[in-house]
Amino acid sequence: MLKRNLRETKKEQTAQILADKAFELALEKGLDGYIIEDVVHRAGYSRRTFSNYYSCKEEALAKAAIFRGC
């Protein structure tokens, strides 16, 4: 059994939070109704942090589907 360190856990949590906020905004406003700045503002992270994890909001949405088991 692999033991995960705190850094890996926090990175996964950050990726999940960003993906979840992108998913929430897509449900509320539709895919074309929001921009990445809306996602990072809602999640409380910077645009640069978003870019460390995802190249676009569609990629974050795809990851949200994986996290949610869709």
3-state secondary structure string across the chain: CCCCCHHHHHHHHHHHHHHHHHHHHHHHHCCCCCCHHHHHHHHCCCHHHHHHHCCCHHHHHHHHHHHHCC
Structural domain of 42 = 31-70
pLDDT of residue 2: 64
21 part of a folded domain: no
pLDDT of residue 1: 54
Taking residues 21-30, report their average pLDDT. 96
40 part of a folded domain: yes
In this prediction, residue 67 has a pLDDT band, given cuts at 50, 70 and 90, of confident
In this prediction, residue 66 has a pLDDT band, given cuts at 50, 70 and 90, of confident
59 part of a folded domain: yes
45 part of a folded domain: yes
- As for how many domains the chain has, the answer is 1
